[in-house]
Chains A and B, each alone.
Chain A
Amino acid sequence: MRENNCPVNEMVLELNNVLQPGCMKNPRSRRIVEEIRDLARDIAWGSAGPDHIPMLDKLQEELAERISDPEASPLARRIRKTLDERREVFISHVKTRNCATGDCVKLAPAPCQMACPAGIDIPSYVTLIGMGRDAEAIEVIRQDNPFPWVCGLVCTRPCEFMCVRGRIDKPVSIKFLKAFAAERAMSDGRYVNPPREPDKGKKVCVIGAGPGGLSCAYYLSVKGYGVTVIESLPAAGGMLRVGIPRYRLPAEVIDRETAMLEDLGVEFRFNTRFGSDVTFEQLKQDGYAAFFVAIGAHSAYKLGIQGESEYGAIEAVDFLRRVALGEHRRPGGKVVVVGGGNVAIDSARTCLRLGCAEVTLAYRRTHKEMPADEEEVEQAEEEGIHFSFLAIPVEITGEAGRTSGLKCLRAKLEPVGDGQRMRPVPIDGSEYVIEADAVIAAIGQQVDRDCMVGLKDMNWSRRNTIHVNTVSMETSLPGVFAAGDAVTGPATVIEAIGGGKRAAQAIDRYLMGIPQPSMPPVPVRRARVENIEVPAATKMSLKRPEMPVLNIDRRRTTFQQVELGYPENAVREEARRCLRCDICRRCGECVSVCRDMMKLDALQLGYFDFDHPVKTDFRTTRDKCILCGSCANHCPNQAMQIHYTDTECILTLCGTVLNRGKLVFCEGCGKMLGTTAYLDYVRRRIESTGNPKFKQHLCDVCQRKKAADIASDIMLQR
Chain B
Amino acid sequence: MNFRRGQRIEVFQRSSEDMWEDYMNEYIGCHGIIVDPDTSVNDPNALVEVSLVGKGTLRLPQDCLKILNEPGS
Contacts and interface: CB of A to CB of B under 8 A. Distances in A.
Interface of A: 102, 111, 114-117, 119, 156, 158, 161-162, 301, 340-343, 364-365, 368-369, 371-372, 374, 418, 420-421, 443-446, 461-463, 467, 469-471, 488-492, 495, 518-520, 522-523, 610-613
B23 A158 contact: no
16 contacts: A102-B54, A114-B56, A114-B57, A115-B35, A119-B56, A158-B35, A158-B49, A371-B38, A371-B39, A374-B5, A469-B21, A470-B21, A520-B56, A611-B8, A611-B68, A613-B71
A690 B39 CA distance: 72
Contact of B39 (A119, A420, A490): A490
Interface string B1-16: 1101110100000000
A440 to B, nearest CB: 15
Interface in B17-37: 18-19, 21, 23, 31, 33, 35-37
Contact of B23 (A162, A371, A518): A518
B41 A443 contact: yes
Contacts of A111: 53-54
A582 to B, nearest CB: 14
B53 A341 contact: no
Interface of B: 1-2, 4-6, 8, 18-19, 21, 23, 31, 33, 35-42, 45-47, 49, 51, 53-59, 66-68, 71
Contacts of B71: 611-613
A369 B54 CA distance: 27
A156 B8 CA distance: 17
B35 A114 contact: no
Contacts of A490: 39-40
Contacts of A365: 1
Given A162-B51, A488-B47, A612-B71, A116 B39 contact: no
Contacts of A446: 40
B40 A445 contact: yes
Contact of A161 (B6, B37, B67): B6
Contacts of B51: 114-115, 158, 161-162
Nearest to B7: A420
Contacts of B41: 301, 443-444
Given A115-B56, A610-B31, A611-B68, A470 B19 contact: yes
A495 B59 CA distance: 9
Binding site of B, secondary structure by majority: helix, strand, loop or mixed? loop
Nearest to B46: A489
A594 to B, nearest CB: 24
Nearest to B8: A611
B47 to A, nearest CB: 7
Given A161-B33, A471-B23, A491-B49, A116 B57 contact: yes
B49 to A, nearest CB: 7
A446 B41 CA distance: 10
Contact of A610 (B39, B47, B53): B53
A445 B68 CA distance: 30
Most B-side CB within 10 Å, residue of A469, A495, A612:
A495
A182 B67 CA distance: 37
Contacts of A469: 21
Most B-side CB within 10 Å, residue of A343, A371, A418, A490:
A371
A612 B31 CA distance: 12
A611 B69 CA distance: 10
A156 B19 contact: no
Contacts of B18: 461-462
B56 A523 contact: yes
A453 to B, nearest CB: 23
A529 to B, nearest CB: 22
Given A114-B56, A491-B59, A523-B56, A156 B36 contact: yes
Given A369-B4, A491-B59, 4 more contacts: A115-B56, A117-B49, A158-B57, A492-B36
Most B-side CB within 10 Å, residue of A117, A340, A471:
A117
Contacts of B31: 610-611
Contact of B57 (A117, A341, A374, A519): A117
A491 B36 contact: yes
B23 A115 contact: no
A114 B23 CA distance: 17
Contacts of B37: 371
B40 A489 contact: yes
A566 to B, nearest CB: 23
A523 B48 CA distance: 21
B35 A488 contact: no
A342 B37 CA distance: 12
Contacts of A612: 71
Nearest to B50: A158
A62 to B, nearest CB: 39
A522 B23 CA distance: 13
Contacts of B42: 364, 443
B54 A114 contact: yes
A343 B4 CA distance: 17
A471 B38 CA distance: 22
A115 B30 CA distance: 13
B36 A114 contact: no
Contact of A420 (B23, B33, B66): B66
A117 B35 CA distance: 11
A260 B68 CA distance: 44
A208 B67 CA distance: 37
B8 to A, nearest CB: 8
Contacts of A369: 1, 4
Most B-side CB within 10 Å, residue of A342, A470, A613:
A470
A586 to B, nearest CB: 11
A343 B39 CA distance: 9
A495 B47 CA distance: 13
A492 B66 CA distance: 22
